[in-house]
A and B are shown apart, each in its own frame.
Chain A
Amino acid sequence: GENVEQHPSTLSVQEGDSAVIKCTYSDSASNYFPWYKQELGKGPQLIIDIRSNVGEKKDQRIAVTLNKTAKHFSLHITETQPEDSAVYFCAASHFGNEKLTFGTGTRLTIIP
């Protein structure tokens, strides 16, 4: 089955700096890669996703890049703000196996 590895497990950045979280996946058939943000005491919430027909997608301060050859994808957050502090999860799935396989999460702390 699919295996998704996520790094780092914890990340602290100064407010205003950029944060990058990286994930690798094992199943070359995977073609859908969402990122979820989980705030304290709440369920995860989708913040951005990318399909394998594109290499990059942006939404304001958030971007995701995908390298299908290397089987890795990354989340980039620019101009970080205190409200970006949360746990972030990457995930992967593919047509015919529509379940999401999640990474182990990254706890991001923004230092004021």
Chain B
Amino acid sequence: DAEITQSPRHKITETGRQVTLACHQTWNHNNMFWYRQDLGHGLRLIHYSYGVQDTNKGEVSDGYSVSRSNTEDLPLTLESAASSQTSVYFCASSVAAYNEQFFGPGTRLTVL
């Protein structure tokens, strides 16, 4: 069955380190999204991509970057991790606009 996976599921890192969170989907969806979830803020969009070589900033993109070299993967990189980036991160994909976004299981990141 097609699916969307995230790895690692849990990560503890130190302030200043570079961290990369992986997202892989097997639906061949063009659209992929990264969100962070924090209590009281819901889901906030970090970066998104509408296809290979396309990346766009969301509302909370500072300190994060993404690259899209193939359809299946959209890794999220924290260039220099900060304690404010402690959060649960969700990746999602959709076939097109106005279609269901399928979410991964999430990655809980703790920055000490």
Chain A positions near chain B (C-beta within 8 angstroms)? 1, 6, 32, 34, 36, 41-46, 49, 51, 89, 93, 95, 98-105
| Complex contacts, B106 vs chain A, CB 8 Å | 41-43
Which among A1, A45, A98, A104 is the interface contact of B59 at CB below 8 angstroms? A1
Given A93-B97, A95-B97, do A42 and B105 touch, yes or no (CB 8 Å)?
yes
B residues 7-55 near A (Cβ < 8 Å) are 31, 33, 35, 40-45, 48
Say whether B105 contacts A89, CB under 8 Å. Answer: no
How many residues of chain B have a CB within 8 Å of chain A?
A: 22
CA of A1 to CA of B58, assembled, Å: 11
Question: Given that A43-B103, A99-B48 are known contacts, is A105 also in contact with B42, CB under 8 Å in the complex?
Answer: yes
Listed residue (A36, A44, A93, A105) with the most chain B CB atoms within 10 angstroms of its CB = A44
Q: In the bound complex, how far is the Cα of B58 from the Cα of A103, in angstroms?
A: 16
**A1, B35: Cα distance in complex, Å:** 17
Contact between chains at A104 and B41 (CB < 8 Å)? yes
Residue of B nearest to A103 (CB): B42
